[in-house]
Chains A and B, each alone.
Chain A
Amino acid sequence: MKSLTSFVAAAALMSGISFAKEVKIGVVLPLTGGVAAFGETSKKGLEVAHEQNSKLSNGDSVKLIIVDDRSDKVEAATSVKKLLDKDQVSVILGEVASSNSMAMAPVAEKAKTPMITHASTNPRVTKGKKYVTRACFIDPFQGAVMAKYALDNRLNSAVVVTDAKQDYSVGLSKAFKKAYEASGGKIVKTVLINSGDKDFNAQVASIKAANPDIIAFTGYYNEAALLAKQARNMGLKSPFIGADGVGFPELVKIGGKATEGFMYTDHFNEAAAASAEAKAYVEAYHKKFNGKTADSMGALAADAYGMIIAAMNKCIADKKQSDDKECINTNLRSTKDYKGITGVITINKDGDSVKSAVVNAVKDGKFAYKTTVNP
């Protein structure tokens, strides 16, 4: 190794060219396990963004090192450690699930390495952290959007279904309840499930007894699909509203007809892509993946990547090294009006991004765009 380095150094000296550096971004994603579907599309979006732009303004190239954490908290934290110690990355990008990002954040914080999560919406992910930023909106906002949309459609009583194992779901339920009750909605019952469980018949029976106008489900797609199916099997007809955790094709594949009409808030819908950035991204995505729908996880990952590149370029403009962690972090945290794929992103003092949300609903087995809600 040493001889190789000296060889390269010697070659550089002899040719007299100043070598362009390689800046490494460490990516932690759930590529297998419970929420693997989110990890896979995040990776796809990231690949598209990387192909669109893999060079910094001074010619340095950007390298992605992608690690699978098997949808596991402990593994997520270990992956960050590995990326820092072994691969010497300058920035960490990830994770999807809030529980996993929360396990990663302290490791990045301790190493004073900037971390940006593209899709973890729980407020606690960035809370009190100096080096953690996010490209997505947070659950209090998402919960408020869910509540507002339900009430706008005159769905005035709700049962809240929370996945007790997921920090994401617990936080989102709290946010939904608060916003829903503040605007005059009535929460008639709260029901708990566990991700990984498959039998929700007992929960369905108790929801049925409460007979709500709407069921607010705050967990992930797998449980959403099974719950919807068992609900419809038992003649429970109340509509469902979920959040960004359910918006995935598997919802319809597993749940079938039972998911028809399932509403959910999301970060992005390619049908509503208006800006030039969004259009260019969707086009590149379709080209690379044979017309597959560009989903929100991929778009968010691409935005997180774009924000990192912008921060690095700003460091270069300020005559600093492109891999200066402190500089990258300061720039990431002061991102303002970044024109991203999922909307215009501004990072507030907590490191959270302030931006719009879309509402979608399942129609004929497809995710149809309903409306956009601004903060």
Chain B
Amino acid sequence: MDFSIFLQQLVNGASLGSMYALIAIGYTMVYGVLRLINFAHGDFMMVGAFLTLFGYSAGIPFELSVLLAIVGSAFIGVMTDKIAYKPLRDAPKISLLITAIGISFFLENLFIVLFGATPKAFNAPEYLTKVFHVGEIYLPISVIIIPIVTVLILTFILYILYKTKYGMAIRALAFDIPTVKLMGVDADRIIMIVFIIGSSLAAIGGIFYAVSYPSIDPLMGIIVGLKAFAAAVLGGIGSVTGAVLGGFILGFTEIFVVAMFPELGGYKDAFAFFFLILVLLFRPTGIMGEDLERSRF
């Protein structure tokens, strides 16, 4: 592999990894607070992509459609929590998990009914699909924007978590919900904020995904969601920095496996998950995770 191809793959890996990272943050935050693996999370990403397409093809400018889609996904995320998860706060965790799977099926099939199951073309505006040449490297503009936005978002989230009162409340909830409630904190409100953050990030991830791979369908969230979940586990579930790290590792692994062994390209998912198993064998709590019961973000 010569150097320019290596650089090209590096850029591609960063872009793919960023999308996994954005979705993984939501997984990890919800898990941190509720100890819930929110299997519907991958579908929030699909919702984000579809709402954007919906707005955009109805004549709303692209930027505004993106904004509306993010707000819409956040709303669906919050409603999911209010309707499906909140009544089960004191129920066994397994009931919550099964409910999450149910919500996932519901969202997928709802969008099949609304939009049909055929993959739809997602034609982003010209300026997002431009391609730059730097020597031998080809850089679609999205490949540059995506990692930058991801890093900005991570900084923002870490700021909220460690420098604001809300962040302190979220971290406190991750330790012990009943005690935090006794201190007079409105736990449900904080959980709502967690869902808003998680679902909007998933929507952003979904929109990036659709811009990069312009064919979207109602089931697109399943495998990407699964991989983002793997990324969150790899990085140490409950840790935001870990989720981002896990996302990037997974993105790079996938890209480089195919780049180095093109004849094994059909098995790239297997490699990604094999890598996950390998890490978990030596660090069962993931790279950044300290303790499965008490996540510290």
Known: A225-B215, A234-B8. A206 touches B138 (CB 8 A): no
Q: Is the CB of A202 within 8 A of B117?
A: no
A193 CA / B116 CA spacing, docked (Å): 25
For the complex formed, measure the closest distance between the CB of B216 and the CB atoms of chain A, giving whole angstroms.
9
For the complex formed, measure the closest distance between the CB of B50 and the CB atoms of chain A, giving whole angstroms.
15
Q: Is the CB of A199 within 8 A of B213?
A: yes
Q: Report the number of A-B residue pairs with Cβ-Cβ less than 8 Å.
A: 106
- Interface: A64 (CB within 8 A): no
Q: Is the CB of B266 within 8 A of A164?
A: yes
Query: What total of chain A residues lie within 8 Å of the partner, measured CB to CB?
Result: 38
Q: Which residues of B261-276 have CB atoms within 8 Å of chain A's CB atoms?
A: 262-269
Query: What total of chain B residues lie within 8 Å of the partner, measured CB to CB?
Result: 40
A205 CA / B255 CA spacing, docked (Å): 10
A197 CA / B217 CA spacing, docked (Å): 12
- Interface: B107 (CB within 8 A): no
What residue of chain B has the Cβ atom nearest to residue A232's Cβ? B131
Known: A199-B254, A250-B118, A256-B123. A194 touches B269 (CB 8 A): yes
Q: Is the CB of B5 within 8 A of A209?
A: yes
Known: A226-B215, A233-B138. A205 touches B259 (CB 8 A): yes
Q: Is the CB of A202 within 8 A of B131?
A: no
Q: Is the CB of A235 within 8 A of B133?
A: yes
Known: A32-B116, A209-B5. A202 touches B265 (CB 8 A): yes
For the complex formed, measure the closest distance between the CB of A225 and the CB atoms of chain B, giving whole angstroms.
7
Q: Is the CB of B265 within 8 A of A32?
A: no
Q: Is the CB of A233 within 8 A of B265?
A: no
For the complex formed, measure the closest distance between the CB of A98 and the CB atoms of chain B, giving whole angstroms.
17
Q: Is the CB of A191 within 8 A of B9?
A: no
Produce 1/0 per residue, A247-269, CB < 8 A to B. 00010011010000000000000
Q: Which residues of A contact B220 (CB under 8 A)?
A: 198
Among B117, B118, B209, B267, chain A packs the most CB atoms within 10 A around the CB of: B118
Q: Is the CB of B138 within 8 A of A198?
A: no
What residue of chain B has the Cβ atom nearest to residue A30's Cβ? B117
- The 8 Å CB contact of B117, one of A32, A201, A209, A233, is A32
A24 CA / B131 CA spacing, docked (Å): 55
- Interface: A130 (CB within 8 A): no
- Interface: B112 (CB within 8 A): yes
What residue of chain B has the Cβ atom nearest to residue A249's Cβ? B121
A209 CA / B255 CA spacing, docked (Å): 16
Dominant secondary structure at the B interface: helix
For the complex formed, measure the closest distance between the CB of B123 and the CB atoms of chain A, giving whole angstroms.
7
Q: Is the CB of B263 within 8 A of A192?
A: yes
- Interface: A37 (CB within 8 A): yes
Q: Is the CB of B215 within 8 A of A254?
A: yes
Q: Is the CB of A37 within 8 A of B5?
A: no
- The 8 Å CB contact of B255, one of A162, A189, A201, is A201
What residue of chain B has the Cβ atom nearest to residue A235's Cβ? B138
A208 CA / B80 CA spacing, docked (Å): 46
Q: Is the CB of A199 within 8 A of B264?
A: no
Q: Is the CB of A194 within 8 A of B121?
A: no
Q: Is the CB of B215 within 8 A of A233?
A: no
Produce 1/0 per residue, B6-19, CB < 8 A to A. 00110010001000
For the complex formed, measure the closest distance between the CB of B9 and the CB atoms of chain A, giving whole angstroms.
6
Q: Is the CB of B265 within 8 A of A203?
A: yes
Q: Which residues of A342-362 have CB atoms within 8 Å of chain B's CB atoms?
A: none
Q: Is the CB of A191 within 8 A of B118?
A: no
For the complex formed, measure the closest distance between the CB of A237 and the CB atoms of chain B, giving whole angstroms.
12
What residue of chain A has the Cβ atom nearest to residue B112's Cβ? A32
- Interface: A63 (CB within 8 A): no
Question: Which 3 pairs between the two chains have the least Cβ-Cβ distance?
Answer: A164-B266, A202-B258, A198-B213
Can you pick out 14 interface pairs between chain A and chain B where the beta carbons lie within 8 Å of each other? A32-B116, A33-B117, A36-B116, A40-B118, A199-B213, A202-B259, A203-B258, A205-B259, A206-B258, A226-B214, A233-B129, A234-B138, A235-B131, A256-B121
If A164-B267, A250-B118 are given as contacts, then 18 extra A-B residue pairs at C-beta distance below 8 Å, sorted by A number, are A34-B119, A36-B117, A189-B262, A192-B263, A192-B266, A197-B268, A199-B16, A199-B213, A199-B255, A202-B9, A203-B265, A205-B9, A234-B8, A234-B131, A235-B131, A235-B138, A254-B215, A256-B121
